[in-house]
Amino acid sequence: MKMKKIFSMAATGILSISLLAACGANSGGESAESGGSAEAVSLRLAHNQPEDHPVHTSLMELSKLTEENSDGNAKIEVFPNGQLGQERDVIELVKSGTLDMAKVSASALEAFDSNYAIFSLPYVFQSKEHYHHVMDNSEAVQEIFQGTKDDGYVAIGWYDAGQRSIYTADKKVESPADMSGMKIRVQESPTSISMIEAMGGAPTPMSYGEVYTSLQQGVIDGAENNETALTNSKHGEVAKAYSYTEHQYVPDVLIVSTNMWDKLSEDQQKAIQDAAAASSESHKDVWKTAIEESIKTSEDMGVTFYTIDKQAFIDAAAPLHETFKADNETNAKYFEDFQSHLE
Ligand code: GCU
């Protein structure tokens, strides 16, 4: 804990200095409203995946396209591997304007803005097509993405992060009864905590960076994530049974500090926004291929994938939908909006 704080403070210090330099360079340019030729900016973007992860590939594409679209007037430098902190840390850095951008899971954002809860609601998306359609077209998503402006950040794009399922050291999970007494790591999201309770397990929230060691040491009995957790994050070395509960599709979200965003010219904003949209689109294929490879690699690591009948889990999670909708009108409106995208 202490180490984390010190690290976080050090990261804040380094970033503040570099951001000040960037602001200095930018201040000579025309104002954002003019859409004119603001001076070149270089934005720092942090995320927690390794460099061989498909999301890193697509963030490098974002970086390349931003530079191209802006004729070099806007650049994005990507810092992978959680080197600037875990998701909670980098969200705080972006909110305070110390870091320009981050790619984080929508579940991590729920601790900062309760409107993000809907993305963690189990089985809120009924298929990949439904999920993609909502993420690309829904007004509710745009409202949630823009809704945090006064809180220091906005979301300007999303990346497919697949479906999440339960994996354990060696136990196949076929029904909520199988989860009884099992400590399952979840993201630091209140909805994900309630989800594991409803699915019969004992939720253990922790940051992603702690999961491998916790599995290895038996602090937790299992976790839940997409297949890249087994390979890119090596969890398949210590967890050998992956059961397709497919309980969530939680998007990865690209956030940018309001402070920095408002300093950019309209042209720079558009260059980044277009790059985000294009890299989100191309990421869908990048992701699909990566998952196919991940499954093969995991099997070579000795992981068994179990296809199960999900109905008992869907039924167990259903009351969460009712509680969510009954909680407030905004929730009910967003829920209805998501469902309206079912084809
Ligand atoms: C996914 C997601 C990460 C997140 C992780 C987690 O891998 O892409 O951003 O940190 O889930 O379970 O914490």
- Would you place residue 2 in the very low, low, confident or very high pLDDT band (cuts 50, 70, 90)? very low
- Would you place residue 242 in the very low, low, confident or very high pLDDT band (cuts 50, 70, 90)? very high
In degrees, to the nearest 5, what angle opens at C-alpha 138 toward C-alphas 143 and 191? 70
pLDDT of residue 84: 98
pLDDT of residue 35: 46
pLDDT tens sequence across 257-275: 999 999 999 999 999 999 9
- Average pLDDT (317-337) is 98
- Percentage of residues in the chain having pLDDT higher than 90: 88
| Rounded-to-integer distance, Cα 183 and Cα 205, Å | 10
**97 C-alpha to ligand 1 centroid (Å):** 23
Task: Quickly list DSSP for 323-340.
Answer: HHHHH-HHHHHHHHHHHT
Cβ of residue 110 lying under 6 Å from some atom of ligand 1: no
- Would you place residue 136 in the very low, low, confident or very high pLDDT band (cuts 50, 70, 90)? very high
pLDDT of residue 6: 37
**103 C-alpha to ligand 1 centroid (Å):** 10
- Average pLDDT (223-234) is 98
The pLDDT of residue 246 is above 60? yes
6 vs 233, which has greater pLDDT? 233
pLDDT of residue 37: 52
The pLDDT of residue 1 is above 80? no
Cβ of residue 252 lying under 6 Å from some atom of ligand 1: yes
Cβ of residue 184 lying under 6 Å from some atom of ligand 1: no
The pLDDT of residue 13 is above 50? no
pLDDT of residue 36: 47
| CB neighbour class for 147 (10 Å; exposed up to 12, middle 13-18, buried from 19) | middle
pLDDT of residue 12: 44
Q: For ligand 1, atom 2, which residue shows the shortest CA distance?
A: 105
Closest CA to 269 of 79, 21, 36, 81: 36
Contact 209, 235 (CB under 8 A): no
Cβ of residue 269 lying under 6 Å from some atom of ligand 1: no
Best of 109, 252, 255 for a ligand 1 pocket test (most atoms within 8 Å of beta carbon): 252
**184 C-alpha to ligand 1 centroid (Å):** 15
Contact 4, 89 (CB under 8 A): yes
**107 C-alpha to ligand 1 centroid (Å):** 8
Give the number of other CB atoms < 10 A from CB of residue 153. 29
- Residue 188 main-chain phi, psi, to 5 deg: -80, 65
pLDDT of residue 286: 98
**24 C-alpha to ligand 1 centroid (Å):** 34
**267 C-alpha to ligand 1 centroid (Å):** 32
Closest CA to 53 of 247, 291, 236: 291
Cβ of residue 161 lying under 6 Å from some atom of ligand 1: yes
Q: For ligand 1, atom 6, which residue shows the shortest CA distance?
A: 208
Amino acid at residue number 85: G
The pLDDT of residue 16 is above 80? no
pLDDT of residue 41: 97
Domains delineated in the chain: 2-161+251-291 (3.40.190.170), 164-249+294-339 (3.40.190.170)
**182 C-alpha to ligand 1 centroid (Å):** 21
Six token digits for residue 256:
């940018």
- Average pLDDT (320-335) is 98
pLDDT tens sequence across 29-80: 344 444 445 789 999 999 999 999 999 999 999 999 999 999 999 999 999 9
- Average pLDDT (215-222) is 98
- Average pLDDT (210-230) is 98
Closest atom, ligand 1, to C-alpha of 223: 12
Q: For ligand 1, atom 10, which residue shows the shortest CA distance?
A: 208
Q: For ligand 1, atom 9, which residue shows the shortest CA distance?
A: 105
What's this model's pTM, rounded to 2 decimal places? 0.91
